[in-house]
Structure 1
Amino acid sequence: MYPRVGLGIAFLSILVVACSSRSHRTKVFNVKTYGATGNSRADMNSKAFLKAWTESCKWSGKSSVLIPKGTYHLGSIVLKGPCNGRKEFVIKGMLRSPNQPSTFFIDHWITFQNINNLRIHGGGTLDGQGASAWPYNKCKTGSCKPLPVITERSATVVFNYFKFWNDQQSLRLDFVNDSEISNIKSLNSKNFHFNLFACNRVNIRQVTLSAPADSPNTDGIHVSSSGNINIDKSVISTGDDCVSIGPGNRDIHITNTFCGPGHGISVGSMGKSGTKEDVTSISVVNCTFRGTLNGVQIKTWPEPTAAGGFASNFTYDNILMENVDNPIFINQQYCPFNLCNPQGSSKIQISNILFRNIWGTSTTKDAVKLKCSKSNPCHNIALENINLIGPGGVASSSCSNVHGRSLGRQKPPSCLS
């Protein structure tokens, strides 16, 4: 009797171990199994990717979509959740975006929506082929170059084509939580490289984003209406902001990241809409800027009709500036292309901002510029241990409508008391 009980227990133990082992396996859905090849048209590969994702998403447990080594032409796709269990999107090859003008009006290339516990990685590359679109990408300056007319489409679609063609982001995450992007490259995006909207608890690390310095609107990472976003150990070289932090964000942390060329790391543009816009708890720590238009920047529109809002609790610490035009810049008169009243006064309240241990070289004499709102002056702005050298070894600082303090070394001499 007892030996049989022992055998039964042993059998159950083996069964539990086997089931446990199986539950920890990752089910792999290879896009090649669904017809994706390097020779296929973009629309055929898109169907294969969507099929692989749909089955992976339905799989109960951990699963991954695998893109093996090779080059795959891929049209615009939306990979939707919610999914069952943890999911991976493993890019080992190169994905190449269409370069036909008839595809430019789509505002995304690869989008993930409504997903929790997603990991995007693999060492592969996203090639946005942005050079095909950049020559036309001047609509925001009022000098749009006409695009080919799509005669087979309706007038409404043609209108949308002209309106939205230049907003195609390479990788877009909407309502994605508890997720990670790591160890991938993005080249020559048509618009933003990465765009995060309404995301929470997303880590981005060890990514390389690259586009020429003169490529228009190619922000590296744009974040809006999101929280608890961490960007770490990344290299961003592009034609616009390396990281742009829009309204509605909280707890955005950027560490150990290189920026250049580009327009720096910016918080803004706030105050243009008619809704209240807040940004809080931002940190940029242990970062390097080289040859950028700006270093660390906060910008708001001088719109008297805006609903207002606040930008508060920011820390910029231990930052090296190398040949940066505007290393430290608060600009509450941001008004590009005369799209607003430059004489207006911003309703955005900026407060509790710390600039500490920032050193290096400025290509302009005004290395520190704090230009705040007349109606809503900046409060509690701190400059601590600043050492910036301008052209010919000379630099200056300028302040308007600012209340704050300076501590430690101040080069240039602080404009704060």
Structure 2
Amino acid sequence: MGLKLTFGWVCLLILSLSVCITEAQGQTKDFNVKNYGAIADGKTDNSKAFLKAWKEACEWTGRARVWIPMGTYRVNSAKFEGPCKGPIAFVIKGYLKAPTEPSLFITENWINFRYVNNLTVSGGGVLDGQGKEAWAYNDCNKNPNCPSLPTTMRFDFVTNAWVHHLRSINSKNTHIVVFGCVDVRITTTRISAPADSPNTDGIKMANSRGIKIQQTTIRTGDDCIAMLAGTSQVRIFNVTCGPGHGISIGSLGKDGDKNDLFDIKVRNCSFHNTSDGIRIKTWASPGIGKVSSLIYEDIFMNQVGNPIIIDQEYCPYPPCKTQPSRVQISNVTYRNIWGNSGSKVAVTFRCSQSRPCRDLVMENINLHYHGRDGEGSTAICNNVKGESLGHQNPASCI
């Protein structure tokens, strides 16, 4: 009898411990940066406090939240690395300011997340790159020895991430970079920099797949969104772009590498006073690659310089060693695209002589241009094979 009673108590104890461990693993614990020495005075460097909070949060076996409360925090360059023991959130309620001293901002990234799974970055706060102090240094188009200015927020080798309800302003370089990542969502985010700010791309991605960008507004001095080599399975829905250079694929093929992109969908987006709308650009250089399975549909253009453009003779800063691009573009659909063009040529397909664009489909295009003499919009096609369906304004050149 005593043995049975003892055995029963042991079983009950094991069960209780199991329940306690399970509950602990399911709990969310906050790691408030102020408890690690952060001071919200807008002057003190809080990078060490932020990193200490991250380190302990990353070690927590349950759900962890690095909590940045209301206030203005100066933060120097910081790298938040995993892997972590559980899902982790970086909750920004406050206003983060990047450094303005050249000795501190000559770095690749301001805020960098690396090797993290199940990451959330949110909170409604502001990331202020204070780029005005740095833009004069961003002269790489004419200075081969130009310094590397920092991206505001970069994700390297991150999986299952959600970035939402944030505001990024005045980045020194690109606002958000996604590299080597899988399954990343960016939603309900606002990105802004002056139209004349150099290289302030909104979101740039490379070597990543499963990227979703939705309900986001991007006003910047370069590409609103740029997709580079190795990108696939991208969904860009309900994005407002402008000013800026539009939503771009490329540039590709500059350095002779293999440059493949495929399975891209851009839908229900609007462009306002951008230099370009939906653009694919490849260098006239030896680089090889394939761009395929692209769908652009239900898109509104408002005073866009080049609403629809493929440029396989891309050369932003000559001299270039020009030769026919070896990047093959195929299976691209443009459907239900309307509005007004800022230039007479509303559609430009400047494809490669050695690898003509194949299987392009133009369906229900209506892009107006109101010139001084009443002339309408036109289209230009070089080395293109495809078909046109439905209404076409300008008259299709395919």
Give TM-score scaled by structure 2 length. 0.94
**Could you tell me how far apart the structure 1 residues matched to 2:161 and 2:12 are?**
39
Report percent identity of matched pairs. Answer: 47
Distance 1:114 1:321, change over 3 A: same
Deviation of 1:19 (Å) = 5.1
**Could you tell me how far apart the structure 1 residues matched to 2:306 and 2:230 are?**
25
Deviation of 1:26 (Å) = 0.7
Q: Does 1:387 align with 2:366?
A: yes
Q: Please give the secondary structure, in 2, of the residue aligned with 1:140.
A: coil
Match of 1:178 among 153, 160, 163: 160
Q: Please give the secondary structure, in 2, of the residue aligned with 1:90.
A: strand
- Do 2:197 and 2:220's aligned partners in 1 also have CA atoms closer than 8 Å? yes
Cα distance per residue 1:325-351 (max 9 Å; x no partner): 000000000001114234x11000000
Q: Does 1:134 align with 2:135?
A: yes
**Could you tell me how far apart the structure 2 residues matched to 1:83 and 1:20 are?**
18
Query: What residue number does 2:100 align with?
Result: 99
Q: Does 1:74 align with 2:110?
A: no
Match of 1:409 among 372, 391, 394: 391
1:146-295 mapped onto 2 (5 Å cutoff): 163=145, 165-295=147-277
**Deviation larger for 53-62 or 213-222:** 53-62
Cα distance per residue 1:301-336 (max 9 Å; x no partner): 000xx2411100000000000000000000000001
Deviation of 1:25 (Å) = 1.5
Deviation of 1:139 (Å) = 2.6
- Do 1:180 and 1:202's aligned partners in 2 also have CA atoms closer than 8 Å? yes
**Deviation larger for 354-363 or 55-64:** 55-64
**Could you tell me how far apart the structure 2 residues matched to 1:55 and 1:170 are?**
24
- Do 2:137 and 2:146's aligned partners in 1 also have CA atoms closer than 8 Å? no
Deviation of 1:84 (Å) = 0.5
Match of 1:30 among 29, 32, 35: 32
**Could you tell me how far apart the structure 2 residues matched to 1:19 and 1:53 are?**
22
Task: Report the structure, 1 or 2, having the larger strand content.
Answer: 2
**Which runs of no fewer than 5 residues in structure 2 stay unpaired?**
1-6
Distance 1:237 1:379, change over 3 A: same
Q: Please give the secondary structure, in 1, of the residue aligned with 2:243.
A: coil
Query: What residue number does 1:338 align with?
Result: 318
Q: Does 1:325 align with 2:305?
A: yes
Match of 1:374 among 353, 363, 372: 353
Query: What residue number does 2:4 align with?
Result: none
**Could you tell me how far apart the structure 2 residues matched to 1:339 and 1:129 are?**
33
**Could you tell me how far apart the structure 2 residues matched to 1:341 and 1:40 are?**
48
- Do 1:166 and 1:190's aligned partners in 2 also have CA atoms closer than 8 Å? no
**Deviation larger for 32-41 or 101-110:** 32-41
* Count, aligned residues: 393
Distance 1:59 1:14, change over 3 A: closer
- Report the residue type matching 2:383 in the other structure: N
Deviation of 1:390 (Å) = 1.0
- Do 2:122 and 2:164's aligned partners in 1 also have CA atoms closer than 8 Å? yes
Query: What residue number does 2:121 align with?
Result: 120
Give TM-score scaled by structure 1 length. 0.89
Deviation of 1:21 (Å) = 3.9
Query: What residue number does 1:145 align with?
Result: none
